[in-house]
Amino acid sequence: MSDDIQIGTDGRLNHFISLEELPRELIEELLTTADSFIDFATRDTKKVPLLRGKTVVNLFFEPSTRTRTTFEIAAKRLSADVITMQSDGMSTTKGETILDTVSTLQAMHTDTFVVRHSFSGTADLIARHVPQHVHIINAGDGRYSHPTQALLDMLTIRQRKPNFNNLTVVIVGDVLHSRVARSEISALKKLGAGEIRIVSPRTLIPTGLEALGVRIFTDLDEGLKDADVIVMLRLQLERMEGQLIPSEREYYRYYGLTEERLKNAKPDVMVMHPGPINRGLEIASSVADGSHSVILSQVSNGVAVRMAVMSKIMGGFRQSG
Amino acid sequence: MVSVIRNGRIVDPANSRDELADLFFDQGQILNSKAAADLPIDRTIDASGLIVCPGLIDLNAKIGELNSKGHLTIYSEHRAALNGGITTVCIQPNTVPVIDEPAMAHMIRESVKQQESIRVVPLGALTMGLQGETLTNMASLKYAGCVGVSNARVPIHSTLLMRRAMQYAATFDLTVFIHSQDPWLTGNGCVHEGEMSTRLGLSAIPEAAETVAVARDLALVSTTGVRAHFNQLSCARSVDMIAESKARGLNISADVAIHNLHLTEFDIQGFNTLCHVLPPLRQESDMIGLREGVKNGTIQVICSDHQPCGRDDKLAPFIQTVPGISGLETLLPLTLKLVDDAGLSLEQAIACLTCNPAKTLGLTLGTLSEGAPADICIFDPNESWEFDPDEMLSNGKNNPFGGMQMRGKVAHTIIGGVVATDLI
């Protein structure tokens, strides 16, 4: 976006739609804030009154488990009032447009909408049509962007490997349908990752991906060589139109992450997956549950990152250190 | 009732004419200047400092809806056309109902006749209901006034049927108008397959969706000998293929939509739904290739591909928006911009909007020759203004060129000797 809508004229973060146009310092600040929220989860009293009196509406036009619940938990820990709406219960199924749904709910003095939708650009569209005091957080739109997921992945990496410049990060799988991959590439670029690799059969690599500054591999062993971080993507079978892979069996044989293949990477490699996992399709159970896997830390970091984003957008909260 | 346009710069590419002169017309026809000089003048239009050219012919514009009685209700779009200097519009057969029966063509001609209106020439459908299954009665459609046949934007899947459609059209000396597009490669794509589709995560239409179909259709044109016109090319590679085939002697012509000569895939940045068009905006190299095609004559016609949309049609997630640009009123200024930006000569620019589309459609319009219908456009080549889509007369305000400095404001549009801009 040339006319970036995310940052207001006063320099404040108004919406959180995509990482592409956000400055590196802001991304780092959000990560640091998230870090400070991590301890909260282990306390007896898990709430802070940062967003007391604020109303957050989770608008999920597409099914989700972890993103929806972590947003809900994050908002509650910040003492905001939360309402979650799933698409099957909403009027859009009766023909009301998305913008109508949003303006109806906004008339009830909502402060923030957390939006997930199956069409690319939906969060952007809504952000351009709400009044200035209403904020939009993108919880994933089509194939475009899933910025909180990318941010929590960066947090997970940073906790273990703080120096991004030396890192080789390998993203494996269905990039074509993946908003996570797109946001992850943006985030890694911003944070100065040493090398970003994509490994996938050519049918799942979108045209022009090189322009985003990644190296493309079609051979998994080659792509995994000396990797520091591996991000496995879910094979989005439900989004595939026409045949993109001949069979799941062959896909697993050539692109599934097994313990054997993991040996190509560095000994301290970390394995990530945005979930939900297709065991035995893109990743072996032994790897998903193994010592290199950080998949469950990703989930708990999800709450902290979403708290950081919400407090940055809605709260008067400022990180002091 | 002799009228005269005085002191204008007459640009009439059909006659390679570019000079300061007076232009006389009477009873709907252009008069011989020498003979008319002594006649009593009823009306004088001062065109000092203005360009006088033939009324523009738009090869592809959606200008109205058919109502339940089959009448074309073109009121608002007709005013938009006049405001843009356009006197003739060719409509594709994808109206509702489809122009696949002679009665439909009749009705359109009749309903247009009853209105103070621009000239509307219809193309007949190539297949019944544009379904790609059964050929229409093309000879009867021609008799009823269709100037050619087309399947609009609906691809004909069967290569065999396409071949027979061309053979049959050739039998009756009908030009086949083709939007070459491979249905499988197009899928549900909404933007060019490239860097921007990847960045924005939008479903994409690869270049091959056009080039594969152009190659197929050229092969069929070559074997059937039909006269063919390729509508709205979007890829530089297609221009090359058309040029090669022309060089081999095929009887073909082509057009391009004006926005494909000014915009690229990067203009959809920020999910700009005003730039959602079909065929999609492609790479800069394509835009340059298309401009070259216009300059070297491979592409003879520039059209508006006018598709007026309501505000809500463009207010949705990108893929759900209605494709199209309301372009009648920016066709002339954007074409003149190519004279400044792309090295097109003024004569070529005007030809692409007048005598060339007339030739493609087999019409005796698009010229200021003696005896020709007095369809005239008078515009100011120097007056510059900042374009505001909301000031357009079209029902659709969907135009992405808002804020651009334009030149070439229309002063008068004359149809059949009637100063039609007076009617706006």
> Does the pLDDT of residue B341 top 60, yes or no?
yes
pLDDT at B245 over 90: yes
| Separation of alpha carbons B341 and A31, rounded Å | 47
Rounded Cα–Cα distance for residues B365 and B350 (Å): 13
Domain containing residue B417: CATH number: 2.30.40.10
Is B96:B105 a contact under the CB 8 Å cutoff? no
B130 and B43 in one domain? no
Return the CA Rg of chain B. 21
Q: What is the pLDDT of residue A321?
A: 34
In a domain, B367, yes or no: no
Same domain flag for B33 and B62 = no
Q: What is the pLDDT of residue B240?
A: 98
Q: Would you say residue B40 lies in a domain?
A: yes
Nearest to B191 by CA among B277, B294, B108: B277
Q: Which residues share a beta bridge with B385?
A: B406
Chosen domain end from B309, B333, B361: B361
> A173-205: per-residue pLDDT in tens?
999 999 999 999 999 999 999 999 999 999 999
Q: What is the pLDDT along chain A (321 residues), one digit of tens a residue?
A: 445 899 988 889 999 999 999 999 999 999 999 999 998 777 877 889 999 999 999 999 988 888 999 999 999 999 999 999 887 656 665 667 888 888 888 888 899 999 999 999 999 999 999 998 899 999 999 999 999 999 999 999 999 999 999 999 999 999 999 999 999 999 999 999 999 999 999 999 999 999 999 999 999 999 999 999 999 999 887 777 778 999 999 999 999 999 999 999 999 999 999 988 999 999 999 999 999 999 999 988 999 999 999 999 998 644 433
Check residue A39 and give its pLDDT: 81
**B171 and B274, same domain (yes or no):** yes
Q: Is residue B325 part of a domain?
A: yes
List all residues 6 or more positions away from B140 whose beta carbon is below 8 Å from its beta carbon.
B102
Is B278 a member of any domain? yes
Return the structure tokens found at A76: 């509650």
| Other CB atoms within 10 A of residue B358 CB | 23
Cβ-Cβ contacts under 8 Å, B283 against chain A: none
Task: Say how far apart CA A141 and CA A158 lie, in whole Å.
Answer: 25
pLDDT band at B110 (very low <50, low <70, confident <90, very high): confident
Residue of A nearest to B193 (CA): A207
Quote the CA–CA distance of B323 and B326 in Å, as a whole number: 10
- Give which of B399, B60, B91 is closest to B233, Cα–Cα: B60
Predicted-assembly ipTM surpassing the 0.95 threshold? no
Distance from CA of B313 to the nearest CA of A (A): 11
Chain B residues inside the 8 Å CB shell of A20: 199
Confirm or reject contact between A208 and chain B (CB < 8 A). Answer: yes
Q: Look-up: residue for tokens 């898990």?
A: A46
Q: Is B135 exposed, middle or buried (0-12, 13-18, 19+ CB in 10 A)?
A: middle
Contacts of B6 (CB under 8 A, 6+ apart): B22, B44, B45, B46, B47, B48
- The CATH number of the domain holding residue B209 is 3.20.20.140
Is the sign of the CA dihedral A252, A253, A256, A260 positive or negative?
A: positive
* Helix (H) or strand (E) run with residue B107 in it: helix B102-114
The answer to whether position B22 is within a domain reads yes
Would you call B317 and A206 a contact, using CB atoms and an 8 Å cutoff?
no
Task: Determine the Cα–Cα distance for residues A288 and A284; give it in Å rounded to an integer.
Answer: 6
Residues B160 and B239 in one domain: yes
> Is B201 an 8 Å CB contact of chain A?
yes
| Mutation target among A174, A178, A207, A210 for the B interface, most CBs of B within 10 A | A207
Q: Do residues B243 and B237 touch, judged by C-beta distance below 8 A?
A: no
Contact flag B195-A208 (C-beta cutoff 8 Å): yes
> Which chain B residue shows the shortest CA-CA distance from A206?
B198
Tens digit of pLDDT for each residue in B199-224?
999 999 999 999 999 999 999 999 99
Whether B152 and B179 have beta carbons less than 8 Å apart is answered as yes
State yes or no: pLDDT of B354 exceeds 60: yes
A59 vs A83: CA distance, rounded Å: 9
The mean pLDDT value for B313-332 works out to: 95
The predicted structure's pLDDT at residue B343 = 95
Q: Which residues contact B256 (CB under 8 A, 6 or more apart)?
A: B232, B233, B234, B290, B293, B294, B299, B301, B302, B303
For residue A276, give the amino acid letter: P
Q: What is the residue range of B165's domain?
A: 55-361
Contacts of B236 (CB under 8 A, 6+ apart): B285, B286, B288, B289, B290, B292, B293
* Structure tokens, A226: 């000396």
Residues B170, B109 share a domain: yes
Using the structure block, give the residue that is written with the tokens 């072996």: A284
Q: Is B128 helix (H, G, I), strand (E, B) or coil?
A: helix
- What average pLDDT does range B120-135 have in this prediction? 96
Same domain, B31 and B156: no
Give me the number of domains chain B comprises: 2
Whether the CB-CB separation of B293 and B254 falls below 8 Å is answered with yes
With contact defined as beta carbons under 8 Å apart, do A86 and A101 qualify?
A: no
Q: Do B342 and B389 lie in a common domain? A: no
Tell me how far apart the alpha carbons of residues A161 and A184 are, in angstroms, rounded to a whole number: 16
Question: In angstroms, rounded to a whole number, what is the distance separating the alpha carbons of residues A96 and A46?
Answer: 38
Q: What is the mean pLDDT of residues B74-98?
A: 89
pLDDT of residue A109: 87
- B-chain CB neighbours of A122 within 8 Å are 317
Domains in chain A: ranges and CATH = 24-145+300-314 (3.40.50.1370), 147-294 (3.40.50.1370)
Task: Give the residue on A whose Cα is nearest the Cα of B190.
Answer: A120
**Share of residues in chain B with pLDDT > 90 (%):** 87
Do B150 and B273 belong to one domain?
Answer: yes
- Angle, CA A194 vertex, CA A191 and CA A196 arms, to 5°: 90
Characterise B300 by phi-psi region: left (phi > 0), alpha (psi -120 to 50), beta (else): alpha
Q: What is the pLDDT of residue B37?
A: 84
Angle at A247 between CA A243 and CA A251, to 5 degrees: 110
What pairing do the DSSP bridges indicate for beta strands A112-117 and A55-60? parallel
B134: distance to nearest CA of chain A, Å? Answer: 28
Rounded Cα distance, A201 and B357, in Å: 47
Number of H helices, E strands in chain A: 11, 9
Question: Between the CA of residue B257 and those of A160, A199, B307, B331, B388, what are the distances in Å?
Answer: 54, 39, 11, 9, 20
Q: Which residue of B192, B198, B274 is the best one to mutate when testing the A interface, meaning the one whose CB has the most A CBs within 10 A? A: B198
DSSP assignment letter at A145: B
Residue A80: its pLDDT value, please? 96
Please check the confidence at residue B165 and state whether its pLDDT lies above 80.
yes
Residues B321 and B419 in one domain: no
Same-domain status, B114 and B228: yes
Q: What φ, ψ does residue A174 adopt, rounded to 5°?
A: -75, 75
- Whether B328 maps to a domain, the answer reads yes
Distance of alpha carbon B346 from alpha carbon A300, whole angstroms: 66
Residues B134 and B10 in one domain: no
Nearest residue, CB atoms, B198 vs list A122, A124, A207: A207
What is the spatial distance between Cα B119 and Cα B104, in angstroms, rounded to a whole number? 16
Show residues of chain B in contact with A121, CB under 8 Å.
200, 202, 271, 317-318
Nearest to B218 by CA among B104, B119, B298: B298
Catalytic residues of B: 305
In a domain, B366, yes or no: no
Q: What is the DSSP letter of B174?
A: P
Q: What is the pLDDT of residue B19?
A: 97
If you average pLDDT over every residue of chain B, what do you get?
A: 94
**Where is the domain boundary, B361, B385, B410?**
B361
Question: Do B66 and B115 fall into the same domain?
Answer: yes
Give the model's confidence band at B115: pLDDT under 50 very low, under 70 low, under 90 confident, else very high: low
Last residue of one domain, picked from the residues B361, B387, B405: B361
pLDDT tens digit sequence for B11-65: 999 999 999 999 999 999 999 988 888 899 999 999 999 999 999 999 999 887 6
Rounded to 5°, the CA angle A135-A137-A139 comes to 160
